[in-house]
Structure 1
Amino acid sequence: MDFESANPSVVKSIKQRDLLNTWLRLYAREQLMPRIEEYQPTRLADELADLVYYTVDGAQQPRRLMIQSEGTRMSSAYGNTGKGRHLDEYLGPRLIPIVMPVYHECLKRALPVYTIANIDDIYGRIVAYERLLLPFSEGGQVTHVIASLKTISEDGGLEIKNLMRGNDSMPTPKLRAVIDRDLFHRAPGRIPAGDVIEFS
């Protein structure tokens, strides 16, 4: 599975961009993944329904992710809660080849990964499924991942229930990107002191 190189502007959702910017502010200090307890975005409570927290089991290869969240929109999309289960077991054999490589890329690169896939809801409406993965570490390898999962339909309405399991069609990938460029956070419209702007 190929991933393109991207900068933070690839992320469409304003709320996901805010989550990414908080991660970037922490990362920029030493160019290292932040610790998960440091990660305190503003209005985090408003986003919890779209967030899934994972711990990484590094004792196995490939490394596995344990779901730590329940009651999220992902639970509705997949039809049941996954708390306390490994992600690969929760997904099942049909979705593993599509979903797990995205998480493995995040673990391997230790950088944010962003994907967009289209999937039909049970009424045949096309839904864009936007996933942002943010890695965290206690030092060394990735030890935690937070996933922000957004569903958007150009038709306005969508049925989230059983979105990922409710029909025969599989998600169609539209974008897979590793955010590995411009890994700093800059307030929009401001130029830090000392920056030189050249006009040619």
Structure 2
Amino acid sequence: MMAVSFEGSDASVVKSIRQRDLLNCWLRLYAPARTLPRVAAYQPERLDDERADLVNYIVDHNFTPVRFIIDSNGTRMASAYGSNGRGRYLDEYLGPILGPVALPAYHACVAHQLPAYTISMIDDINGHAVAYERLLLPFCDGGDQGVTHIIASLKTISEDGGFEIRNLMRGHHSVPTPKLSVVIDHNLAHRMPGRIATGDMIEID
């Protein structure tokens, strides 16, 4: 697995307003007792609007290191990776090229039992630079195993405007280049959601 250094940060590092809202909802559940929330208690606003960018994972602690079972597959992720991975282990789904780039964030989320956030850059088939922003939120549904579930929010954004999302991650020989890798461990308090400002980043299909 690729050696990736994860620094500590607070919620302000997250660029997408929608991902900040998702993180804020997680913080509201986490902050009172500093314990991992249950998946069933996580009910962010406008959830239906986000489902296409969300992926649920089950953490399989029967392996060392742990493995991640894809329990759903957002339509945009399936399009970007070229197939639906539901029921498969994430490492198998990603394969030997993409796995070492993506998996360290999931393991950091489990190890710290805190949200992890990464930004990677990749070019689409037309040469447009695309930012791939990943927010991982940890949950525990009982027991002493720590993180048992992860909900991932995956956003693809290009300053060039439109881009080709189909097979974005597998359509050519380049792989995502990590630009930011953090664990959100500072100021873990619930904050009132901010307003969407003109010019804020949005995801583009």
With normalisation by structure 2, the TM-score equals 0.90
Cα separation, 2, equivalents of 1:50 and 1:187: 23
Partner in structure 2 of residue 198 of structure 1: none
Provide closer, same or farther for how the CA distance between residues 188 and 18 of structure 1 changes in structure 2, counting only shifts above 3 A.
closer
CA deviations on 1:16-41 (whole Å, 9 max, x unpaired) are 00000000000011001100000000
For 1:109, which of 96, 109, 112 is the aligned residue?
112
The answer to whether the 8 Å contact 2:24/2:192 transfers is: no
Q: Which of the numbers 47, 50, 54 marks the counterpart of 1:51?
A: 54
| 1:174 pairs with 2:182 | no
What residue in structure 2 maps to residue 29 of structure 1? 32
In angstroms, what is the RMSD of aligned CA positions?
1.1
* 1:112–1:134 CA contact under 8 A, matched in 2: yes
The match for 1:18 is 21
**What is the distance in 1 between the residues matched to 2:116 and 2:77?**
18
Distance 1:65 1:185 in 2: 28
Aligned counterparts of 1:62 and 1:186: Cα–Cα separation in 2: 34
Separation in 2 of the partners of 1:81 and 1:151? 17
> Gaps (5+ residues) in structure 1?
190-200
User: What's the secondary structure of 1:175's corresponding residue?
Assistant: strand
Distance, in Å, in 2 between the alignment partners of 1:79 and 1:164 is: 8
4+ residue segments displaced more than 3 Å: none
Aligned equivalent of 1:156, options 153, 156, 161: 161
TM-score (norm 1): 0.92
Equivalent residues in 2 for 1:42-191 (5 A)? 42-139=45-142, 140=144, 141-187=146-192
Question: Cα gap change, 1:39/1:155 in structure 2, threshold over 3 Å: closer, same or farther?
Answer: same
Is this contact kept in 1: 2:140–2:149, CA < 8 A? yes
The code of the aligned residue for 2:35 comes to L
| Rg comparison, structure with higher value | 1
Percent sequence identity over matched residues? 64
Aligned length: 189
